[in-house]
Amino acid sequence: MTKENENENETEVEILNKEYLINSFFYLGGNSNPERTAELQEKLEKYIKINGSDKQIEDILRLIEMYNLEAEFNDFEKSCEIVAPIIERANAQDEFDLFDIRIITVAVGHTKNYAQSWLIGEKLLRDLEKYKNHHRYSKIKMAIHSNVAYRPKRAKYYENVSDYEELKKQFSIHIEEAIRLCKKEDLQAALGTNFVRKGIFVGDLDIIEKGLSLIKENGTEKSYEMALNDINEHKSFIKFPVTTLQLKSIIGKNIKIHRKVNRIRCEELADMLGISGSNLRHIERGYKAPSLSILFKLSGFLKVSIDTLFHDTSKETPLRDKNALELNEISTIASKLTDKELKSAVIMLRQILHLREDNQI
């Protein structure tokens, strides 16, 4: 038998092995490896073609579709629609086997109905006790608590819940248990994610910063970016005070505005600063703060003061791009004038304004 034939036979065995296919999905951890996920999706579809309809395999395909959608569009509404059949099955089903538990645990984090996710979570935790000796018992239990407790993207749907106090009580129970289990299993990246979720819900920036630090040190770049997206999406809902998180966003927006005013491409400015293009894009999106040395370089390259980069213009009328360069130049000139010269310049500008109002210019 040739090596090619051996590989084909191995693939056929994999396709016929349901346990192998489902475990492969959880091993991949969502859509962290798109190429391998696509290969698995093909195998799952072949399994159904060979063996007929199978609810668990079909549910895995739905979860893959959901992960693909989130990776490309970050569309929570559509994600909820995709996994709705899984949630419906979880509501109707009385008992779950281990595969059901793991599949539904992922889906339960994508429902807009908190009470529904809480009740499903109780059923999942109840049936998980049958598998207490399973080597992944604690990790699965942590995932149930984490997803039932709070999915940051769902926060806006809780604003008008009928029993908000009960929601806060249940959230606290689940998130604290998720955090305890993360510490027990030394799951530092997952611990960071749960700290971020807790911080968003209670509006505590210290907890959020602690979580981000753990994700940055122990998680993937994708998980860190997702956490930052969740924080940025819910600033208005949580009503954060002015913090370093908002300053990052303000600085990033100002850098992007003045880069465009100066007609400098992102990659070009990154080269001038001696950093990567992705690094600069993260700064412009408010995901990270520039160092002091980078700020000084930006001030020079963009021809603005550092104070300008920190200035929040979100409540002001935006300047037209064609005027921004001239106004920056006026600001630069004004900073070099003496007090006496500055007063004279202001008088001259007021005279121009009066002439315009009198239609003389």
Rounded CA-CA distance 112/160 in Å is 12
Written as six digits, the tokens of 331 are 């600001």
| Cα four-point dihedral sign 134, 135, 138, 141 | negative
The predicted pLDDT at position 361 comes to 43
Rounded CA-CA distance 164/158 in Å is 8
Q: Is the pTM of this model over 0.75?
A: no
Long-range contacts of 355-358 (CB under 8 A, 24+ apart): none
Could you tell me which of 274, 233, 280 has the C-alpha nearest to residue 258?
A: 280
The predicted pLDDT at position 246 comes to 67
Q: Kindly report the CA angle at 83 between 108 and 99, in degrees rounded to 5?
A: 65
Cα(first)–Cα(last) distance of the chain, in Å? 91
Distances (CA, A) of 137 to 102, 143, 181, 219: 10, 10, 11, 21
Rounded CA-CA distance 134/101 in Å is 13
Residues 6+ apart with CB under 8 A from 162: none
Return the CA Rg of the chain: 27
The predicted pLDDT at position 354 comes to 60
The predicted pLDDT at position 150 comes to 62
Query: 57 near 73, Cβ under 8 Å?
Result: no
Q: Which residues of the chain have pLDDT under 50?
A: 1-10, 152-153, 155-156, 159-160, 241-242, 317-322, 360-361
| Per-residue pLDDT tens digits for 196-212 | 888 887 777 778 888 98
Per cent of the chain over pLDDT 90 is: 36
Query: 265 near 224, Cβ under 8 Å?
Result: no
Written as six digits, the tokens of 123 are 């059923």
Q: Where are the alpha helices (DSSP H) in the chain?
A: 3-16, 18-28, 34-51, 55-73, 76-92, 98-107, 114-128, 137-149, 164-185, 188-202, 205-218, 221-233, 235-238, 244-261, 266-273, 277-284, 292-302, 306-310, 321-334, 339-357
Written as six digits, the tokens of 323 are 């005027």
The predicted pLDDT at position 161 comes to 53
Residues 6+ apart with CB under 8 A from 8: none
- Tokens 């859509």 belong to 31
Rounded CA-CA distance 5/13 in Å is 12
CA 329 to chain centroid, in Å, comes to 38
* Domains delineated in the chain: 3-238 (1.25.40.10), 244-318 (1.10.260.40), 329-361 (no CATH)
| Per-residue pLDDT tens digits for 271-328 | 999 998 888 988 888 877 787 678 778 888 998 877 788 776 655 544 444 455 555 5
Rounded CA-CA distance 268/266 in Å is 5
Rounded CA-CA distance 142/187 in Å is 10
- Tokens 């499903």 belong to 120
Question: CA torsion 319→321→322→327, rounded to 10°?
Answer: 50
The predicted pLDDT at position 118 comes to 83
Rounded CA-CA distance 172/109 in Å is 16
Average confidence score pLDDT of the chain:
79
